[in-house]
Amino acid sequence: MKVNRTRRVKDMYMRGTVKVNKYIQKIDELNAYITIKEIEEVEEKNYLHINGNEICNIDKGCAVIEYTPLDENYNVRAFMNNNYEIVLYYIDMTLRNYEKDGEAYYEDLYLDFYYETPFGTGIGYYMRPDDAEELEAAYNDGIVSREECDLAWNTFTKLEEELKNKQNKFINRGIKDYVNYKIYGKV
């Protein structure tokens, strides 16, 4: 069964938005694309449920900062509230990331990773997988191979270790690139 798993980064996670200012740049030193999505107008707010809290992540003044490394098997999405605090990182495990016509794309492997921050949890950092059942279903339906399942879980494990040791170069950037974009108009 052939299923399109390709995702265009600039279009992802904009549910309920009416007007979004999008900025895309390749960061050569990271061999990655950054996509910044500033939400200017919404039809409907979106909320995340983190540690018993309801946190708004899609509303006027919020932003999504996304890193698509071209030499890794994941895509990092940071949800920033309108107080300039990252409340959650959502990381997609990917088969591959690539560029086309000056934009970033990835091929989804279904398994995702939540990395919740103290601004979202109210107490500290918290990590957990998401959509493991989707990966299993995709394998059972012949959409992904055993090797692709293993790649997704191995990438997840690698990320988990990097985050425990505070060694992920994209998450460690925090809002630095967003601040540079706001001040200088580029990252």
6-184 belongs to which homologous superfamily? FomD-like (2.40.380.10)
High-pLDDT (> 90) share of the chain, %:
73
- The span from the CA of 63 to the CA of 38, in Å, is 4
Query: How many residues are present in the chain?
Result: 187
Alpha carbon of 38 to those of 4, 87, 102, 118, 187: distances in Å? 27, 15, 19, 22, 14
> Cα(77)–Cα(145) distance, rounded to whole angstroms?
25
Q: 135-185: per-residue pLDDT in tens?
A: 999 999 999 999 999 999 999 999 999 999 999 999 999 999 999 999 999
Asked if residue 73 lies in contact with residue 96, where contact means CB atoms within 8 angstroms, the answer is yes
For residue 2, pLDDT over 60 is answered with no
- 12 vs 64, higher pLDDT: 64
- Report the share of the chain in percent with pLDDT over 70: 98
CA-closest candidate to residue 90, choices 61, 57, 138, 123: 57
Cβ proximity of 149 and 139 under 8 Å: yes
